[in-house]
Amino acid sequence: MFFKTIKFKLTLWYVVILGIILSSFALFLYVTLADSLYRGLDNKIKTMAEVIASSVRSPLGGGPSITDIDRIMTEHFGIRPLGRFIQVLDESGRVGGRSTNLRNVKIPVSVQTLKEAARGRVTFETIKGMGEYPLRVVTLPVIENGRMAGIIQVGSSLEGVEEALHQLLLIMLIAVPAALLVTSLGGLFLANKALRPVDGITQIARRIGSGDLSQRIRIKRVNDEIGRLASTFNEMIAKLQESFRQVKRFTADASHELKTPLTILRGEVEVGLKKKRNLGEYRQILASNLEEIDRMSRIVDDLLTLSRADMGEFKLEREEVDLSCLAREVWEDLQLLAQEKGVHLQYMNDGFSKVEGDPLLLRQLILNLVENGVKYTPSGGEVELRVRGSLEKKTVIIQVSDTGVGIDQEDLERVFDRFFRVDKARLRKTGGTGLGLSICRWIAQAHQGQIGVESLPEKGSTFTVTIPMKD
Ligand SMILES: Nc1ncnc2c1ncn2[C@@H]1O[C@H](COP(=O)(O)OP(=O)(O)OP(=O)(O)O)[C@@H](O)[C@H]1O
Ligand SMILES: [Mg+2]
C-alpha cells in the first residue's frame, strides 16, 4: 500500500536522482584526486632521478658507490627522503648500485623498460608484490655523448597515495548513503506535509460519496494547487447539492400536482357510485372526470417534455419557420378563448421574421405566452401579440404584452422556474401547473434565443423572446 503512494514515489525519485548526482560527483572527485596524486608522485620521482643523473655525470664511469648515492641525496634533499628507493643500472641492465634502504632487494626491470630506456625514453610503472604497498618506479636513461651510459631508477612506495584514496573512498562510502538516508527521510517528511491536504479531500469525498452533500473541504491556502483543487471540488459539490435539491423538489411538486386531479377524480367517481343515478347525472360526472383527465394528461405531457429536454434527448427539427405565420395561427386559434373571457386579442407583425427551428415547439412557445396573457388579464383588458424582425441585430422578436394582473418584482425571475405560480390557491381554478414558462424558456434557449419579462403589478406584463434570424 505504502509503496503505491505518491509520497513514496516522489521520495524514491528524489533519492534516486540525488544518488546519481552524488555518486557521479564522488566518482569524479576520486578519479581527479587519484590522477593528481599519481601525477604529483611521478613528478617528484622523476625530478629526483634527473637530479641524480645530473649530479653523477658518469653514474657508472667512476663507479659511484651506494654511499655516493646516499651522499648525493643528502646533499640535494637535505635529509634522505624516506620511502624513496634508488637503483642505478649500467647500459646492459645490470645493477650497479642501490640506496641503502633497498638493502639486497632488487627493483625488477622488464625488458620492455630497458628497450624504452635504450631509446632514450622515460618510463613510469607500478610494481606490485614488493611489500604491502605497490612501488611506483621511474626509469630514466642517462645519455652521455649521444649514447646511453646508464639507467637511474627511483621508486617510491604508493602507501601515501593509496592510503589517501582509500580514506576518500571510505568517507564516500559512508557519507553518500548517509546523505541519501537523511534526504529520503526529509523528502518523505516534505511529501507527507505537502500531500496531507489531499488525504483530507479524500476523506471528505468519501463522506460525500456516502450521501452527505453538505460536507465541504476547509481550505487553508486558496492560492496553491491543493487549495485550487479543493475550491473547485467544493464548487462542484455545491452544484451537485443544488441539482439534487432541484430534482427532489421537482419530483415532490410533480407528484403533488398529479395528486390533486386524482383526488378529485376519485371523489367524483365515488359519489357517482354511491347510489343509482339518471343518465344526465352520469353524463355530468363523466364530463367532469374528463376535465381532470385532460388536466392530468397536460401535466404529464409537460413533464415529459421537460425531462426529455433535461436529458438532452429532445431531437429538435431544424427547418425554416416564419414566426409571423405561426403567430397568426396561434392568434386565430385563441380568438374564441379570448372572446369568452372578454379580452381583446390583437396581432401585429413587422419585417422579416424567418428563423430556423422546430415549428411545433415554436408554436407551443407562442401559445403558452398568449394563453398566459389571456389567463392573467381580467375581462375588458387587452393582449397584444407582436412579431418583429430586426435586420441589424439579425434577430426576430416575439412580444406578448397584456394589461393584466402583472407580476411582483420579487417574483419576476422565478416565473420561469418549474411549478412556480404567483398565487397557487387563487389560480387553481384557471388550471395552471406552473410549467408553461419553464418550457418556454427551454424552447427559446434550444433555439439559441432568450426570454425575458417586464411587469408592473396591476398594470400588465410584457414577455419578450428573441431568436436569431435565419440568414
Ligand atoms: N402574463 C402574465 N401576467 C401575470 N402573471 C403571469 C403571466 N404569465 C405568467 N404569470 C405568472 O407566472 C406563473 C407561471 O406561469 P406558467 O405559464 O409557467 O404557469 P401557469 O400558467 O400557471 O401554468 P401552465 O403550466 O398551465 O402554463 C403563473 O402561475 C402566473 O402566476
Ligand atoms: Mg401558462
Predicted confidence (pLDDT) per residue in 328-348, tens digit: 999 999 999 999 999 999 999
Q: Strands, DSSP E only, in 145-211?
A: 147-157
Residue-level length of the chain: 471
Ligand 1 neighbour 404 (Cβ under 6 A): yes
Average pLDDT over residues 195-219: 84
pLDDT surpasses 70 at 269: yes
**Residues in Cβ contact with 420 at an 8 Å cutoff, skipping those fewer than 6 apart:** 411, 414, 434, 437, 438
Domains and CATH numbers, the chain: 2-163 (3.30.450.20), 225-310 (1.10.287.130), 319-468 (3.30.565.10)
**Of the bound ligands, which one is closest to the alpha carbon of residue 428?**
1
pLDDT surpasses 70 at 72: no
Counting from 1 in the atom list of ligand 1, the atom nearest the Cα of 437 is 18
Q: What is the CA radius of gyration of the chain?
A: 53
Ligand 1 neighbour 435 (Cβ under 6 A): yes
What is the reported pTM?
A: 0.61
Ligand 1 neighbour 436 (Cβ under 6 A): yes
Report which DSSP code applies to 177: H
Pick from 84, 147, 86, 87: nearest CA to 117: 147
What is the pLDDT at residue 103?
Answer: 72
For the chain, helix, strand, coil in percent to 5 are 55, 20, 25
pLDDT surpasses 70 at 75: no
pLDDT digits (tens, 9 = 90+) for 7-51: 889 899 999 999 999 999 999 999 999 999 999 999 999 998 888
- What average pLDDT does the structure give for the chain? 87
CB 422 within 8 A of CB 383: no
What is the pLDDT at residue 426?
Answer: 53
What is the pLDDT at residue 280?
Answer: 93
Q: How far is the CA of 375 from the centre of ligand 2 (A)?
A: 8
List own/partner pairs for 80-85 with CB under 8 A and 24 or more apart. Answer: 81/48, 83/156, 83/157, 83/159, 83/160, 84/45, 84/48, 84/154, 84/155, 84/156, 85/135, 85/154, 85/155, 85/156
pLDDT digits (tens, 9 = 90+) for 379-399: 999 999 999 999 999 999 999
Q: DSSP alpha helices (H): ranges in 342-462?
A: 359-375, 424-427, 436-446
Ligand 1 neighbour 437 (Cβ under 6 A): yes
pLDDT surpasses 80 at 195: yes
CB 52 within 8 A of CB 154: yes
Q: How far is the CA of 390 from the centre of ligand 1 (A)?
A: 28
CA 71 to centroid of chain Cα atoms: 81
Average pLDDT over residues 99-125: 83
What is the pLDDT at residue 430?
Answer: 62
Q: For a pocket test of ligand 1, which of 374, 399, 415 has the largest count of ligand atoms closer than 8 A to its C-beta?
A: 415
Q: In angstroms, rounded to a whole number, what is the distance separating the alpha carbons of residues 263 and 286?
A: 15
CB 365 within 8 A of CB 400: no
Counting from 1 in the atom list of ligand 1, the atom nearest the Cα of 439 is 18
pLDDT digits (tens, 9 = 90+) for 299-311: 999 998 888 888 8
Phi, psi dihedrals of residue 356, rounded to the nearest 5°: -110, 130
Q: In angstroms, rounded to a whole number, what is the distance separating the alpha carbons of residues 449 and 259?
A: 34
Pick from 401, 407, 406: nearest CA to 387: 401
